[in-house]
Amino acid sequence: MNEETQIVLCKCGCGKEVSKDGNNYINGHFNKGKTFSEETKRRMRKPKSEEHKRKLSETKKGEKHPFFGKKRPLHSDFMKRNNPAKTLDVRKKLKGENNPNWKGGISFDPYCRIFSDKDFRYVIFKRDKYSCQNCGITRMLSLKVYGRELIVHHINYNKKDCETNNVISVCNSCNAKSNFNRSEWQKYYSRILENRIF
């Protein structure tokens, strides 16, 4: 094996592979497990003088700066994309029927009457063992993490179809994910219910 393809392991002893060429440690592992003398700790804690700060600053100014003369496309693109003025314009342009996720205003359609019944929801939660059928988070943990209990999700996305074979318990996060690639999620959740032994 030549030197270029040789795997370099972190020198701290953790056994993990170092990803960058020329590095001996994974970022943050250099001082791992080392103990310093009280004198060294005192020097590390000591605030830097104004003269020291000025010298450090001078070493990175102008042509000495690592990004001097270079474009920073990731940073520049990020700032352009996250410009509040542009974001507001885009939001206005993508409202309602102009939004690619527009489904004809179905979000304003009412749910079936039984859907608002707590007993109906608890029957579904009990059937699903009080856990999200996608990620497995429990009802109580969902309450702690997301600030709300599990959600009863319509598998076929039809709010008026509240048959027990069309609803499933999911957490807030999984419910949000299932609003994209709806046909795939519909197949996935249908398979879960089909494969379940009641």
Position 1 confidence tier, pLDDT thresholds 50, 70, 90: very low
Q: What is the pLDDT of residues 17-52, one digit of tens each?
A: 777 666 777 776 776 667 778 888 888 788 888 888
Lowest average pLDDT, out of 4-8, 66-70, 97-101, 153-157, goes to 4-8
pLDDT of the residue at 20: 64
Return the sign of the alpha-carbon dihedral for residues 122, 126, 130, 132. Answer: negative
Share of the chain above pLDDT 90, in %: 11
pLDDT of the residue at 125: 92
Q: What average pLDDT score do residues 171-194 get?
A: 88
Q: What is the pLDDT of residues 84-141, one digit of tens each?
A: 656 667 777 777 788 777 777 766 677 777 877 888 888 999 999 999 998 888 988 8
Q: What is the pLDDT of residues 49-84, one digit of tens each?
A: 888 888 888 888 888 877 777 665 555 555 556 666
pLDDT of the residue at 21: 65
